Structure 1
Amino acid sequence: MIRYPLLHEGAVIGVTAPSSGTGEEWRPLLDSAIRRMEQRGFQVVCGETPWTQHKAKSAPARVRAAELNAMMTDDAIEAVIPPWGGELLIEILEELEWNRFGCKWMLGYSDISLLLLAFTLRTGIATAHGTNLIDLRGNYSDPVTDRWFSVLHTREGESVLQHSSERYQKEWNHASPSPCVFHLTEKTEWKTVHGNPVAMEGRLLGGCIDVIRHLAGTPYGDVAGFQQDRIGAEPILWYLENCELSTADLRRSLVQMKLAGWFRHCSGILFGRSPANRPVEGYTAEDVYRDLHEELQIPVVYDADCGHVPPQLTFVNGAYARIEARDGRGIVEQVFRP
């Protein structure tokens, strides 16, 4: 059984950095994001870790874990949204008081997706893979990013529909702020392995493959147990995105996940656009997707609105989803089914 948090208008949002903080250079971005959230009517409680950064982390693991534990057990806070991702969130997993965490939203992506997946697998509480706090600092958001609140405001038993973007951002440029944050210049096109329309459905799980792959074989990555105990053996529909991996490393990671049993009773896989996917000796990302499709005999969709090439849809771990890709467009319907 899956439990779904509910975010209300004017709610208290906790900001902590379980991975990377901003440090001196990027503090203005965090300031702007907090002000924007307050202008939207939210109350923001910000910890100390979002403001600091040293040796690839906001603070030592125990400090990061303690701040997250405090926010996740504070009944006044309805959602926890980190400033952004990072590198070493995995260090805090052993320090987290999972069984004491309240039923509240966690929203983010990149390194944060490791926390999201582990939390849902261990507790059955839904988590949201989507925008981070820094990217909500603009005077307005694009239509895809702006759906984050609609998704988190959906009640158990209800459904929420999202559509693919019209255009996406090719490159980041934090030094050149714009009212919309993202510079959406490239035409979006969702693709399938053989170019045919695809429809797939199942319980969503996923995140940034660079980091979630490290949960396989640990107490925090029991996908089989989750599938059997939480969702009644329903099929899993994976969404994955690649931040930095070459195509060979991506392929190795997918094989590792397969060997760990993560793709048993899987109904399909959706891959987000990637800033990486560097070919190795002519072995391309498209080759990886084709090999996976032929190996598992399941639908594979790629270049979707998910991950490090914004904008991105908000995917809810644990929700029942129906995904369609046709003529370069995509539709994602999520049902908040227990």
Structure 2
Amino acid sequence: MITYPFLKKGATIGVTAPSSGVPVNLHDVVKQACSRLEQKGFQTICGETVWTQDKAKSALAITRAAELNAMLSDAEIDLILPPWGGELLAEILEYINFENIKNKWVLGYSDTSALLLAITLKTGIATAHGTNLVDIRGEYWDETTAMWENVLSTPSGGSVLQHSSPLYQKEWQHDNPSPCVFHLTEETRWKTTSSSTVKISGRLLGGCVDIIRHLVGTPYGDVQSFRKQHIPGEPIIWYLENCELSTTDLRRSLVQMKLAGWFDNCSGLLFGRSSANMPVENYTIEDVYLDLAEDLQIPIVYDIDCGHVPPQITFINGAFAEVEVEEGKGTVLQIFK
């Protein structure tokens, strides 16, 4: 059984930096994002870690964990939303009080995905892989990103449908600000390794491969125990995205996940667009996907709206999903059961 938080009207959002904080020259970006949320009726509370950054992290691991634990156990905070990802969230996992987590949403991606997956696997509480705080600082939100609010406001037992984006952003243009933050210029096309039509269903789990691969073999990546306790007998759909890995490093990581049993009873895999995926010799990303499809004998869908090439769909770890892809377009129906 999965426990689903619910984002109420006028919710209080806790902003903390369990990985990277924000350097002084970018503090205004955080203040602008909080202001946008407050204009929409939310309340925001920023922790001290948000405003500091040194040696690739916002603060010492114990300090980051203490602030996060305080927000996770605070019944007045409805959603935890880090400013962005980073590099060293893994350092805090051993200090998190998983048994004290109240039923609330945690939303983010990149390095944050290790926290999201660990919470769901350890507790059965659903977590949300989607936008981070600084990406919703714009004058308006594109239709794909904006769905985070609808998804998190779906009641337990309800369902929510999301569509593939019309356009995606090819590259960041920080010196050319856009009213919605992103520069959405390229036509989105979801691709598959097999037929042009794919229909799969199962429980969603996933995140950034660069990060969540480090949970394999630890108490925070115990997929088998999660299956037995929370989703016995049900298939999993893994959604994954690559931030910085070469094709061979990605392949090694996927093989490791397979050997660890993460892909047992898997109905399909979804891969986000990536600006990484650099070929090694002539081993391309398409080769990686074809090898994985051959290994697992399941559909592989790629170039979906997930990860570091925005915009992105809000995927709920633990939710039951029905994913359909046809002629380059996709839908994700998530059912909170």
* TM-score normalized with structure 2 length: 0.99
1:29, distance to aligned residue in structure 2 (A) = 1.0
> In the alignment, what sits opposite 1:239?
239
CA–CA separation in structure 2 for the residues paired with 1:124 and 1:332: 21
Measured in 1, the distance between the counterparts of 2:7 and 2:19 equals: 23
Equivalent AA in structure 1 for residue 223 of structure 2: V
- Aligned partners of 1:308 and 1:17: how far apart in 2? 18
What amino acid is aligned across from residue 238 of structure 1 in structure 2? W
Q: Which residue of 2 aligns with 1:322?
A: 322
Asked whether 1:229 is paired with 2:229, we answer yes
The 8 Å contact of residues 139 and 180 in structure 2, kept in 1 or not, is answered as yes
Shift of residue 26, structure 1, vs aligned partner: 1.7
Matching residue of 2:154 = 154
Query: 1:277 & 1:178 partners in 2: Cα distance?
Result: 27
Partner of 1:303: 303
Look up the match of 1:2: 2
Number of the residue aligned with 1:106: 106
Native 8 Å contact 2:164 2:330 kept in 1: yes
Q: Which amino acid aligns with 1:71?
A: M
Aligned equivalents of 1:149, 1:314: Cα separation in 2: 9
Distance in 2 (CA, whole Å) between partners of 1:104 and 1:198 is 33
Equivalent in the alignment of 2:83: 83
Q: What does 1:113-152 correspond to in 2, within 5 Å?
A: 113-152=113-152
Aligned to 2:31: 31
2:146 partner SS: helix
Q: Which residue of 2 aligns with 1:57?
A: 57
SS at match of 1:77: coil
Question: Using the alignment, how far apart are the partners of 1:279 and 1:163 within structure 2?
Answer: 30
Residue 194 of structure 2 contacts residue 299 of structure 2 at CA under 8 Å; is this kept in 1? no
- 5 Å-filtered alignment, 1:230-309, equals 230-309=230-309
The offset of 1:195, in angstroms, is 4.4
1:201-235 Cα offsets, whole Å, 9 max, x none, are: 10000000000000000000010111111012200
194-203 vs 182-191, which moves further: 194-203
Rounded Cα–Cα distance in structure 2 between residues aligned with 1:272 and 1:217: 24
Q: Distance in 2 between matches of 1:323 and 1:152?
A: 19
RMSD value, Cα = 0.7
Post-superposition Cα deviations, 1:70-122, rounded to whole Å, max 9, x if no partner, equal 00111000000000000000000011111001010000000000000000000
For each residue in 1:134-159, what CA deviation from the matched residue of structure 2 results, as whole angstroms up to 9, or x when unmatched?
00100100000000000000001000
SS at match of 2:85: coil
Match of 1:194 in 2: 194
Q: Please tell me the residue identity of whatever aligns with 1:235.
A: P
Q: Unmatched 5+ residue regions in structure 2?
A: none
Unaligned runs of 5+ in 1: none
Q: How many residues in Structure 1 have an aligned counterpart in Structure 2?
A: 337
Instruction: For residue 10 of structure 1, report the CA deviation from its aligned partner.
Output: 0.7
State the 1:173 CA deviation. Answer: 2.2
**Residue equivalent to 1:217:** 217
SS in 2 for 1:253: helix
Question: In structure 2, what residue type is equivalent to 1:148?
Answer: W
Instruction: Give the letter aligned to residue 230 of structure 2.
Output: R
* Structure-1 residue corresponding to 2:14: 14
Deviates more, 1:20-29 or 1:39-48: 20-29
Q: Deviations over 1:223-281 (max 9, x none)?
A: 01111110122001000000000000000000000010000010100000001000000
- One-letter amino acid of the counterpart of residue 16, structure 1: T
What is the identity, as a one-letter code, of the residue corresponding to 1:323? V
Q: For each residue in 1:142-196, what CA deviation from the matched residue of structure 2 results, as whole angstroms up to 9, or x when unmatched?
A: 0000000000000010000000000000111233222111000011000001342
TM-superposition CA deviations, 1:274-313 (whole Å, max 9, x none): 0100000010110000000011000100000000000000
In the alignment, which residue of structure 1 is the partner of 2:185? 185
